[in-house]
Amino acid sequence: MILVAGSANLDFVVRAHHIPAPGETVLGRDFQTFPGGKGANQAVACARAGGVPTAMLLALGSDAFAQPLVDSLTDAGVQLHTVQAAQPTGVAFICVSEEGENAITVAPGANHALQAQHLPSLQGVTHLLMQLETPVATVQAYAQAARAQGVQVVLNAAPAQALPAALLALVDILIVNEGELAALTSAPAVTAGAAATSSPSPLAEQLAQLPVPCVVVTLGSAGCLASVNGQLLRQAAFKVKVVDTTAAGDTFCGALVAALSQRADMPLALQRASAAAALACTQLGAQSSIPSASAVAQLMQQSV
């Protein structure tokens, strides 16, 4: 069983020719709402793309935005531990360009209501997966409880921010993108394009600065790179037609942890996660874009 503790947001998505620059107004095209939030996306990815038993601890407001999130999670087979918050349900405003890139603004709302005392029993849980759309103090409290009970702690350090050393010391697996890695190491971000055309040395140096046994950095179209007890592993990206990159990183996280919970070795887990993330880019929306485990297996087979 995987327990995801984190955020759930209702996403308000507008497609436009391009993402507006500061002060610019852009006429969008279609508008839709989708269940989202890093935590909820990753829970759906664990259950649907990973095909493993998954539970989620989340906080929701008593408003109309909460029900679509509950419906999406339960439809994916996620068991819910819900905290009823006084704040409104979290929301995100997303603009998606014709190239599939996005710009996201999040109003966390109820997600900030998660507190240390809300953590459910960890009996039967192998991995605790968290993000940073909930209070860092709460994340650290959950990590400490998991470490004390022998549960693997997985942290997706997103959105990017510096983190206390005490929290990093409790993490078994850290997942970041280039910007998040830079925020943690106070180093310039290494772009995916540069990573694809040069040796992994700059990234390897950044990974080596982090006191975590396993660090995975996602590199978009350049794939991903992992440092496992000092050993570097690289996984190329699967080639697909990109429609919307929203939740691709979350899908990667969920599928990776799901594979590890099934005792896959890290190279295979990285491959499954990369295939799932690629498929998530071929559909619009967050949780609506997360593929099934069978679709992931099919893409992996086609790429052999």
* Active site (catalytic) residues: 250
The torsion angles phi and psi of 217, rounded to 5 degrees, stand at -115, 125
Block residue for tokens 């180093």: 187
Residue 247 zone, left/alpha/beta (φ > 0; ψ -120 to 50; rest): left
Cα separation, 46 vs 54, in Å, equals: 6
Block residue for tokens 């699967």: 238
> What's CA 288's distance to the chain center, in Å?
15
Nearest-CA neighbor of 258 among 286, 284, 289, 292?
292
Give me the helices (H) in 105-233, please. Answer: 136-148, 165-168, 178-185, 192-197, 201-208
Residue 113 DSSP one-character state: G
